[in-house]
């Protein structure tokens, strides 16, 4: 029984023998890179890049439910991308716009 | 004929080749304009057109290309080796994905081909800055 389930997955149209599997699987690399970069100082975070990551994540979450074959792997990875993108953006925005206010208030 | 098309056709008739029969020339231009309007309308309504997510997904991915182009102006210290390396592999895989997905998505293919180039360039800038490509690491004296 286990073998036939495994075979069903193995032979799936979005399974490991196809690009439909490996492309989204690799896309996790972007989210992982973003998580690895979450310890970097916010000055090094790039606004254009993180906006691109977030926008891509959001739009592609929708896209992955509309293509043939439907690709839940792609869906989940784009949800994660949007999440890490938003996290990086909030870090940078907080650093750029809110911590300076605190420093200015402290000076007064 | 709509006024716009007639005006456009009239403007076109002043542009290029010698006119033997001006009226015929204008008519040809009008037909060309009408054809391009028709194909534009066909694009608007196509299954991979701007009314569908098959269009906007790839458009969102152009954001990476634009971000990469903007970041080319920044110093290499600001480049994330992790992210840029990931992008290079990602765009390579997605060029293949765009080719194989149903419906085939040429816009996505073009996007990832461009992104691949931009990200490889950024990767080379980062690698040079880190001293991997034989360039001097900033702040370190060269031993040679």
- In sequence order, what DSSP letters do the residues of B38-98 get, joined into one string? HHHHHHHTSTTSTTSHHHHHHHHHHHHHHHHHHHTTS-GGG--HHHHHHHHHHHHHHHHHH
Let me know the angle formed at the C-alpha of A46 by A20 and A96, rounded to the nearest 5 degrees: 140
CA angle B45/B49/B51 to nearest 5° reads 75
Q: Say whether B63 and A55 touch across the interface (CB within 8 A).
A: yes
Given CB atoms, is B70 within the 8 Å cutoff of chain A? Answer: yes
The residues with which A68 forms a beta bridge, in sequence order, are: B102
The per-residue pLDDT for B84 is 94
Contacts of B116 (CB under 8 A, 6+ apart): B88, B91, B92, B95
A chain contacts of residue B61, beta-carbon cutoff 8 Å: 52, 56, 60
**Residue B61's closest chain A neighbor by CA?**
A56
Question: Is residue B15 pLDDT above 70, yes or no?
Answer: no
Chain A residues whose CB is inside 8 A of the B83 CB are 30, 33-34, 37, 49
Q: Is the pLDDT of residue B138 over 80?
A: no
Is the confidence at residue B141, as pLDDT, over 60?
A: no
- Paired strand residues for A57: none
Residues B27 and B23: their CA atoms lie apart, in Å, by: 6
- Does residue B138 or residue A5 have the better pLDDT? A5
Query: Has residue B27 got a pLDDT over 70?
Result: yes
* Percent above pLDDT 90 for chain B: 39
């Amino acid at each position: 029984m286990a073998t036939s389930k495994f075979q069903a997955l193995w032979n799936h149209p979005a399974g490991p023998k196809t690009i439909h599997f490996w492309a989204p699987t690799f896309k996790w690399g972007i989210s992982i890179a973003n998580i690895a970069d979450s310890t970097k100082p916010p000055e090094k975070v790039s606004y254009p890049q993180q906006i691109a990551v977030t926008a891509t994540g959001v739009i592609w979450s929708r896209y992955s439910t509309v293509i043939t074959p439907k690709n839940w792997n792609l869906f989940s990875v784009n949800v994660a991308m949007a999440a890490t993108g938003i996290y990086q953006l909030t870090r940078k925005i907080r650093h750029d716009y809110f911590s300076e206010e605190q420093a200015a208030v402290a000076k007064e | 004929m709509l006024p716009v098309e007639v005006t456009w056709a009239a403007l076109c008739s002043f542009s290029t080749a010698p006119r033997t029969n001006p009226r015929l020339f204008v008519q040809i231009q009008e037909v060309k304009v009408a054809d391009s309007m028709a194909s534009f309308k066909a694009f608007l309504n196509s299954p991979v057109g701007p009314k569908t997510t098959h269009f906007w997904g790839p458009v969102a991915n152009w954001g990476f290309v634009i971000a990469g182009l903007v970041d080319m102006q920044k110093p290499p210290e600001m480049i994330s080796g992790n992210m840029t390396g990931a992008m290079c592999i990602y765009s390579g895989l997605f060029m293949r994905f765009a080719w194989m997905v149903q419906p085939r998505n040429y816009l996505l293919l073009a996007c990832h081909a461009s992104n691949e180039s931009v990200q490889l360039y950024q990767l080379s800038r980062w690698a040079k800055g880190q001293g991997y490509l034989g360039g001097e690491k900033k702040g370190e004296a060269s031993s040679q």
